[in-house]
Each structure stands twice: as structure tokens, then as C-alpha cells.
Structure 1
């Protein structure tokens, strides 16, 4: 139940962090365009509703295993949590490749903190 609670609260915190990151990007870079990734995913879901399974279940599971469990785990093991979280968050941001590096970095770092605070990968997956 703790994992579910952290996951659900994490959804709202992630939305707030995303808004803050977009405001920072807007302040430094002017008008910020919508996320191409998000627009493409929405269009895929509208075209093929079954694709929602991949975007809401398979995608988050895969991302958390790759970026938090694997990259954060390996880099953090050989350095420390903060370096591991920074490296995995940077790679998470670069993997999304849509010009919103700060947004994805903030989210990746938050998911790393969520993973660390619960000790379970399921909370950031939620």
C-alpha cells in the first residue's frame, strides 16, 4: 500500500515538476513548443486505441527498468546515488530527444528519488 500511495502522489508531483521545468525553459529559451513525443503518442492512441497499453503500461515499466533499476543501479553502485541519479536522468532526457531536456531530466531525477525512497521500482512505474 505504501508503494501505491507513493506512486499516486508521485503522479501529482511529476505533473508539478513538469510545469516548473516548462516555466524555466520558457524563461530561458522563450516560447516552448509542445512535446513532439507526447503529440506522437496521442496521435498513435487516437489512431489505434490498443496502443494505450504500450504507452501506459509497457513504456513506463521498460523505462524504469532501464533508467532507474539498471543505469542508476550500476552507476550508483560504483559512485553514489547522486551521480547515478544524475547520469540516469541525463540519459533519460537524451533518450526522449524532443528538445525538452530539462523537463525529462527533472522527471528522471524525481523518479530516481522515488525509487530510492521506497526501495521499489514499482512506485516510479506508477
Structure 2
């Protein structure tokens, strides 16, 4: 029998960015992730990066889409990005869902932060 690994969420601050690192498997939609992500989005002092690299879930797309809608509804003053391996199941699902039209998807947290610095908005 294969046992599912529970999802773990950790937060990291780098400058004005809150980075949410997800590890494990979502299984069913994860209320804890939804709560943490909504809190981060509502924090008007922080940009948000969701790091899905160590996570295994295509179910994140719905939660991420809701978070981006919430960000826009709150005025969209802060930035939002996702980190995912484009060759993983999660990355493929993000591409199929057209998520990059909603928010940028990067290969690493460093790429996301560097992109924002290049845009003239320091982290």
C-alpha cells in the first residue's frame, strides 16, 4: 500500500516577498494552504511567491487562481508569482490551464525575485 505524504507549508521572508514553500502531496484540496495563501495575499505589505517545486499536485491550480482573483479584488498592488517545474505534472497542469496568463510562472524563487528587480521594483 502506498501512503500519501501530507503537505507541509513553510513561509520565508525575503525583502518585501513572502515565499510559501509547499512540500508533499495535496491529495484533496488543502484548506490549510488556502488559508495561508489568502492571509499572504491580504498582507498588503508583501509580494507573494508560491514555490511548488517540491510539491506534487495539479489541484493547486484552483487555489492559485482563487488567490490571484483575491489579489486583484484587493486592488492588485502587490505582485504574485508561482514557481514550478514546467516538466512536472504540476507544471504541465498549470500550462494546460493557461495559468501563466493569470500570473507569471518561474523556474525558481530566485528567477521570480530577479524578474521583479529587473522590473524596477525592488524586493
Does the TM-score normalized on the shorter chain lie above 0.5? no
Q: Which structure is higher in strand share?
A: 2
Bigger Cα Rg: 1
Q: Which structure is higher in helix share?
A: 1
TM-score, normalisation: structure 1: 0.26
Between the two structures, name the one with larger relative contact order (CA 8 Å, sep ≥ 6): 1
